[in-house]
A and B are shown apart, each in its own frame.
Chain A
Amino acid sequence: SAVISQKPSRDICQRGTSLTIQCQVDSQVTMMFWYRQQPGQSLTLIATANQGSEATYESGFVIDKFPISRPNLTFSTLTVSNMSPEDSSIYLCSVEKDGTGQETQYFGPGTRLLVL
């Protein structure tokens, strides 16, 4: 398995500002993922972040709005830029670790964001 921490755990922000969320994992991993979970909804993948390459964004998500850094194999950041109330969500990072014959994803505790 993997131990994943996220900072901050929660924040309240004003519209128009930006917030950077950090994700730290206790071991080196190749693939890290960022998800969003809007209130009452399921998880939606924002992007996949591999070390040494540009993040790959899912349909509906763009780099200008959600820039991602992946400076090494244990750390990544997601920035939510120019925030609006619609960005109020839980943001989760996950990592992929080799399981018994198949990769398994493990999730961080999430960052709960409220935009006023």
Chain B
Amino acid sequence: DAKTTQPPSMDCAEGRAANLPCNHSTISGNEYVYWYRQIHSQGPQYIIHGLKNNETNEMASLIITEDRKSSTLILPHATLRDTAVYYCIVHFGNEKLTFGTGTRLTIIP
């Protein structure tokens, strides 16, 4: 079973920041939070991951609460090409990735 809870869908205006929430209240101390996205008809694309500190890369920022029970993926300036299903996954080491149903993000022109 997926260890995360995400809203099924969200809309965001083009050019605005998209903030995608994820709850992972049962996360254990050594599990990382990973974000992937899947654009229609393509393989999932790795976005970012973190343990407890906030992380930023060229694609997005990841904000993890101090208690690590939730996190937010931020796409700072959403474009139409960011329309995709976004998956939040908790994962450690060689454990298999368990994909939930994700959040379908639609960027509105």
Interface residues of A (CB under 8 A from B): 1, 4, 31, 33, 42-45, 48, 58, 90, 92, 94, 96, 99, 101-110, 112
Classify the interface of chain A: helix, strand, loop or mixed.
strand
Q: Which residues of B contact A (CB under 8 A)?
A: 32, 34, 36, 41-46, 49, 51, 87, 91-94, 96-102
Q: Name 20 A/B residue pairs within 8 A (Cβ), A-sorted.
A: A4-B43, A31-B94, A33-B97, A42-B102, A45-B96, A90-B41, A92-B43, A94-B43, A96-B94, A101-B51, A102-B49, A102-B51, A102-B93, A103-B94, A104-B46, A105-B46, A107-B43, A107-B46, A109-B43, A110-B43
From B55, which residue of chain A is reached at the shortest CB distance? A100
Tell me the total A-B contact number using a CB cutoff of 8 A.
54
- Please, which residue of chain A has its CB at the minimum distance from the CB of B30? A102
User: Are A43 and B99 also in contact (CB < 8 A) when A103-B93, A112-B41 are?
Assistant: yes
Question: B44, B96, B102: which contacts A48 (Cβ < 8 A)?
Answer: B96
- Residues on the B chain within 8 Å of A31, using CB: 94
B interface SS class: loop
Report yes or no: B46 in contact with A109, Cβ–Cβ below 8 A: no
Measured in the bound complex, the distance between the Cα atoms of B101 and A43 in whole Å is 9
Write out the residue numbers on chain A whose beta carbons fall within 8 Å of the beta carbon of B45: 107
Bound Cα distance from A75 to B104, whole angstroms: 32
A99 touches B43 (CB 8 A): no
Contact A110 B42 (CB under 8 A): yes
Assuming the contacts A42-B102, A112-B41, asked whether A106 and B96 have C-beta atoms less than 8 A apart, the reply is no
